[in-house]
Structure 1
Amino acid sequence: MRIKDELVGPECEGVELFPARSREVDTSNHYHLWVIDDPTFRFPFGFTRRLVTEATIGDARQEPWPANERPADCLSEEEMRALLQQEQRKCS
């Protein structure tokens, strides 16, 4: 994310493609990222809203953000649990 943000911009979307084996290119330990250089473009798949946390929920463990990079909207463990409960009620 940091590299994409620095090269193209934080609001530009990109994808990493895992191609069919017939289109595979594996000549060294490289990663390929295709980014649309238009901050208003959104792919018609993927998540529709932002959700960031440092909380460990069940077996899902997230590394903490460096202090100077922690987003203001980073949810606490309590906020994440409340959100998960709210989403579960919607599905019931």
Structure 2
Amino acid sequence: MQMEYEDRAPAWEEAEKSKHTARFWYDSKLYETMSCFIAKEEQMRAQAEAKMVKKIALAKHRSEEKRSATEARKNQDTERTFAQAKYICRTG
């Protein structure tokens, strides 16, 4: 009986080692895949953030242009109105 256990012990130990080795390989493969997905996610997030920053900057630039154009038009209207009032006062 003792001899039988002694014969089966190395086989059992080898089976356990191969099981753990296979599991470690599988886990490391999963880790590599997961880290690849994480890297892609971070890259996509950075690209989306850069795109958003660019859109915001463009929107700010356009709004500043429109604001300055509106201000210039308002100043022109004010000058025209002032000139008309001055002409009316002069001519009666």
TM range, smaller chain: under 0.3
Greater C-alpha radius of gyration: 2
TM-score (norm 1): 0.19
If asked which structure has higher relative contact order (CA below 8 Å, sep 6+), I would say: 1
Provide TM-score, normalisation by structure 2. 0.19
Higher fraction of helix: 2
